[in-house]
A and B are shown apart, each in its own frame.
Chain A
Amino acid sequence: MILQLSLLLLGILLRAVTYHFGLTSVYNQKFEYVTPFTSFDNLVEAVHLMSHGTSPYGGSHFHLPPIYLWLFRWVDQDSYANWGLRIIFILIDLICCLLLFLIIKQTLGQQKNKMLNAKFERILPVAISSIYFLNPFTIASCLVYCMGNFTRLYILLSIYLALNANLVLSTFVLSLAAYTEVTPALLIIPIILLCIKQRSQLFKAKINQNKSQVKRTQEKQKEEKEEKEEKKQQKTKQHKNSNTFLQWFLGIFLFLFWWVLLLVLSQLMFNSKFSNFKININDPNFFQHFFSNNQYFTFLKHTYFFLLNITDLTPNIGLYWYLLTETFVVFRQFLVFTLQFINVIGLIPFTIRFRSYPLFLVAVITSSITILKAYPTLADFPFLFCILVMQPKLLEKTRYRAFFIRGFQVVIGLLSPFYKIWIQDGTGNANYLFGISLSFSFGEILVLMEMIRSAMIVITNEKDKKKEKNSLQYYISTKKKKSSQRKDK
């Protein structure tokens, strides 16, 4: 407990100190943390344009949906020194850290076969959450007010809520993430799976409690008990089947409902001439005004379409920018469509394979979304690591750990200099940065594949054990039957 608190305090202190010494202006120049999508300058510009009665999406600066504009309508250029804003971003990181801690603790508690020793298990949640909270990448993205922090918070929160089988809230939080960045919408399937699994586990736990009570009270009446048990099991099976369908339907419906609600809300906000965000329902021409305006959801073009079409080719650590700079315009649409479709296509086999391990499915989908993002920041890297390590027993099976650690050290170390020699000094050309950003993404892909491989090993191990068990039981039961038959004879 003292360790946890001191680590949290250390993280907050680090952030406060770096804020105080004005490192924001240093990190604001770094392309690893400031992308066209997450840049805070762009938000300031949008708010400024809005105050002039111009569309905040003009100038191709701002690409977040309108609710963020409403939330941050008070910011201006001097907000970099605003402690209120700093505290908001520190709090986001803090909540992310706590959520990671809780998620990992819960998953460790639910593990049946404990492969790690107890001390390691006790320290693991603290270790991983503080890796997220204390690493320089997260701190830097907190310094530059990276808007991507919101998406990370939503995803973690929705995983935590799903772990507690809270379908309504977790779909709501996930719809917030999808509202911000579209691609997290793919997470809805693993989140519902996780919800269903957790609910059935809770149900089982309750039944077990009932069972034990029944055992205590009616130990002597064995025959009656057996009958009752059979009946109960049948009931639970029926209950389970009807419940899963209901949950699937409810989950997807709720998710879409929340998302559409958010979009309609932002359309209403957006329509009222940008300058005042008050929705005046008493206005008799309100609906007329809303429907007569032909420009429905124009912000979608500047937010979702921008993210999916990758219009801005500003260099970042992702895979797309140089590819789309160097492709012929004729092939552009084809390439963008094919590459963006990877996430959707990947969803199907992953879901089929890991349907009974929804937490790992969540991790895989989240990390594939994060790796194939159009505008990733370096803060996504520790997030990816922590998400993949949510089930720590997979770490044991991974190969090439030394290679990955050294490789990432070198690659991340070279990102900044290679950017500098191209953009700042003009001594190198774009290929340097392309090479290094490609190898960074490539490394991330390999890590994900390694984790999937080790997950497959664990799963097949478990299945084999089950098979062995089953075959053993079958063998024993058949032997028993045979022996009893012999006895009868």
Chain B
Amino acid sequence: MKHTPLTILFFLFFSLYFGCLAQSQDKYTEALTIKKLNKNKLLFKFDFNTISKNPNYQNYFLFPKTFGNLVKENSLEYLRFSLTQGMYHLKYGEIGRYSPPGGELIATFETKEDLESKFRTVSRKISGIFGTSQKFSDLTISAQPFYTEFNSLESTSQRTHYSSLPREPVCTENLTPWLKLLPCRSKAGLASLLNPIKLYDLFYHSMSVEVTRSQENSLSFHQQLLLVVELKEFKFSQIFGTPLIGPICPFSSQTKIQIEGFSDYSSFTPTPEEIGNNQVGFILKENLNKKDFNLHYSPKEKTNNNGYNHNNIGNDNSNNGNDNNNNFNNNGINDENISKNQSIKLNRFLKESGKIRGGVITQITNLEKNDLHLTLYDSLPWFMRVYFHTLTIKSNFENKEIEITDLNLESEQGNESNLFANQASLLRIQTSQDHGRPSIFELALVLKPGETFQISVDYLKGFLNFEEHPFDGNRGFDIAPAIVSMHGKKQNLKKRIYYTDSLLLMLPTPDFTMPYNVMTITTTAFLIWYGSFLNNLTGRAGLKLKKKSKAKWIIKPDKF
């Protein structure tokens, strides 16, 4: 066999390539978690993790270069971006970190200077990467939550900026760039299951990107896709359109499928195995490629389903507004709409009569067996002009109103030991500005087991110019959900973040069809003002004097 220059070159490149592989410290893992939830829901959670140790921000191997540059240029410590379709309710079960409907962007920077301008550049780059709207940097929605901890980093309170767009549409255009960030794209590995046509038909769909720079100088890049399906039995080819065909991604150091929460593992074909750490599932190796991996699940006895709640398929959406109001005094615990391991129950709704004044009511119920320490972050846009003097908290215990202690901690940050000294304390108020920043309040709450807090605040609606209304003005405005974060230092609970429901606010709309008519008619009134006073003051000819006015029959001075 002749050693042609081409083959020599080929070998040279190959050796270089493997040399790079050996040198780079990037580690990439893939995982799919299938979990059974309440109410016939199934969760498919795709996790793609890239960890790069000691990054030099110049040579990138598996870590995406765009995000490496983003982190370096803007001195980011943490970034999370998610696009979500559908609303996830806690009654389906806890699934860890999830996202509110629409888009959400959280960024923690190294320093707290120029936070807004930095956030603006980051948000523009992110929306450039994922093809979303540029509104994340809009001052009317973005703000700083001081007491909500979005990540495990320490003392991030003043360096974090948050913005959420509840009305951001999600489509395949956003998924394609997301898939391109993977080392194998959607050609191989678990990502080959992600068929955009099938994904957007599902009950809940949330894709997110999370970049964390830890203190040991390692960057982790976590891409997650949450899919919630409403099915009793499933097959990969049924949900995703294809079975898992392609080869396993060669860069992945571990590719596994994990199965949780099912009572009968024997109804799976192929049958799952133990994969360590008390986990059940499959570790995919290259030999699985020979035949298509089409996971199939069909429960043998459909009557024996522990985690299922019967007859609730149709009633899922009944859990709104007034129903909860009636449940307020029932401790909330006997409610059907609660899953087994749920530690908190959240409701949120509007009370309105007429289109001008109203109130936002948030209900939080503690379902744990010990006290819960929570902070609530509520941000309302400027056109909901909040009356902070109407902020009240009511407890279902003895149906009493709870006194809110005012802790103005803005001056002295980080003093968190006092945070939960009282049952309810107001941590922070930010007043809104017209056409500007939103109004924000943050509360620290201590809930006893079984206790429900009803937090209500009144607002007055602002009126918008007709150009400021969206094109479907009568649909209403989506209001981003409040964020409840659990501070569980004592109870060995993880720091968790929950989102309440997002709201739909109806604003009184002007008539969009006739701006010119209004302008002309009103300015005519002004013109008559001008014209008649000029006429009266100057036109002596018009004053042909009548010595006696004819209309005598209204005031007749002689008859007094």
Contact = CB atoms under 8 A, between A and B. Distances in A.
Nearest to A371: B529
Nearest to A464: B545
B523 to A, nearest CB: 8
B356 interface: yes
Interface stretch (B252-260, B268-276, B333-341, B457-465): B457-465
Interface in A307-366: 311-315, 319, 321-329, 332, 339, 342, 346, 349-350, 353
A214 interface: no
A59 interface: yes
Contact of A452 (B387, B430, B537, B554): B537
A61 B540 contact: no
B: interface residue count bin? 35 or more
A426 B476 CA distance: 13
Contacts of A417: none
A342 B526 contact: yes
Interface stretch (B51-59, B79-87, B155-163, B510-518): B510-518
Contact of A327 (B387, B515, B528, B536): B515
Contacts of B22: none
A451 to B, nearest CB: 10
A423 B545 contact: no
A319 to B, nearest CB: 6
Contacts of B545: 457, 460-461
Contacts of A44: 389
Contact of A346 (B429, B432, B533): B533
A461 B546 CA distance: 10
Contact of B554 (A77, A327, A405, A445): A405
Contacts of B146: none
A341 to B, nearest CB: 11
A425 to B, nearest CB: 8
B514 A431 contact: yes
A120 interface: yes
Contacts of A342: 526, 529-530
A479 interface: no
B463 A319 contact: no
Nearest to A461: B545
A178 B508 CA distance: 33
A350 B525 contact: no
Interface stretch (A141-149, A261-269, A434-442): A434-442
A445 B549 contact: no
Contact of B466 (A59, A325, A346, A401): A325
A20 interface: no
Contacts of B76: none
Interface string A398-427: 111110010000000000000000111010
A442 B528 contact: yes
B464 A423 contact: no
Nearest to B355: A423
Interface string A441-460: 11001100100110011001
A441 B385 CA distance: 28
Interface in B462-491: 462-467
B316 interface: no
B238 interface: no
A319 B510 contact: no
B519 A327 contact: yes
B176 interface: no
Given A60-B382, A429-B511, A48 B389 contact: yes
Contact of B537 (A332, A350, A430, A434): A350
Given A349-B537, A456-B537, A396 B549 contact: yes
A323 B522 CA distance: 7
Given A323-B522, A326-B518, A399-B551, A52 B429 contact: yes
Contacts of B460: 41, 61
A61 B549 contact: no
B431 A54 contact: yes
A452 B536 contact: yes
B558 interface: yes
A423 B432 contact: no
B412 to A, nearest CB: 13
Contacts of B426: 52
Interface residues of A, number: 72
Contact of B431 (A58, A350, A400, A431): A58
A167 B518 CA distance: 44
B111 to A, nearest CB: 23
Contacts of B519: 323, 326-327
Contact of B560 (A119, A311, A312): A119
A342 B522 CA distance: 14
Contact of B389 (A45, A58, A453): A45
Contacts of A422: 508
Contacts, number: 173
A397 interface: yes
B1 interface: no
A470 B439 CA distance: 72
Interface string B413-446: 0000000000000100111111000010000000
Contacts of A60: 382, 385, 432-434, 462
Contacts of B464: 313, 325
A278 B554 CA distance: 57
Contacts of B429: 49, 52, 54
Contact of B356 (A423, A429, A446, A449): A423
Given A53-B408, A346-B533, A424-B355, A445 B528 contact: yes
B406 A52 contact: yes
A326 B532 contact: no
Interface string B109-132: 000000000000000000000000
Given A399-B551, A445-B528, A325 B521 contact: no
A259 B342 CA distance: 63
A313 B463 CA distance: 5
B522 A76 contact: no
B12 interface: no
A446 B467 CA distance: 33
A422 B511 CA distance: 11
B543 A457 contact: yes
A391 interface: no
A55 interface: yes
A395 interface: yes
B433 A58 contact: yes
A60 B511 CA distance: 25
Interface centre among A116, A395, A397, A430 (most CB of B within 10 A): A430
A449 B551 contact: no
Interface centre among B509, B522, B530 (most CB of A within 10 A): B522
A123 B555 CA distance: 13
A319 B523 CA distance: 10
A458 to B, nearest CB: 10
Nearest to B558: A117
A315 B560 contact: no
A313 B529 CA distance: 23
Nearest to A44: B389
Nearest to A338: B526
B378 to A, nearest CB: 14
B549 A326 contact: no
28 contacts: A48-B389, A52-B406, A52-B408, A54-B431, A58-B430, A60-B382, A60-B462, A314-B462, A321-B463, A322-B518, A323-B523, A325-B464, A326-B466, A342-B530, A349-B533, A349-B537, A396-B549, A398-B549, A401-B551, A401-B554, A402-B551, A423-B356, A430-B510, A438-B522, A445-B528, A452-B536, A453-B543, A456-B543
The 4 closest A-B pairs by CB, nearest first: A58-B431, A48-B389, A59-B431, A313-B463
Interface of B: 353-356, 382, 385-390, 406, 408, 426, 429-434, 439, 460, 462-467, 508-511, 514-515, 518-519, 521-523, 525-526, 528-530, 532-534, 536-538, 540, 543, 545, 549, 551, 554-555, 557-558, 560
Given A322-B510, A424-B354, 11 more contacts: A44-B389, A52-B426, A59-B439, A77-B389, A325-B518, A326-B514, A346-B533, A405-B554, A424-B355, A441-B525, A461-B545
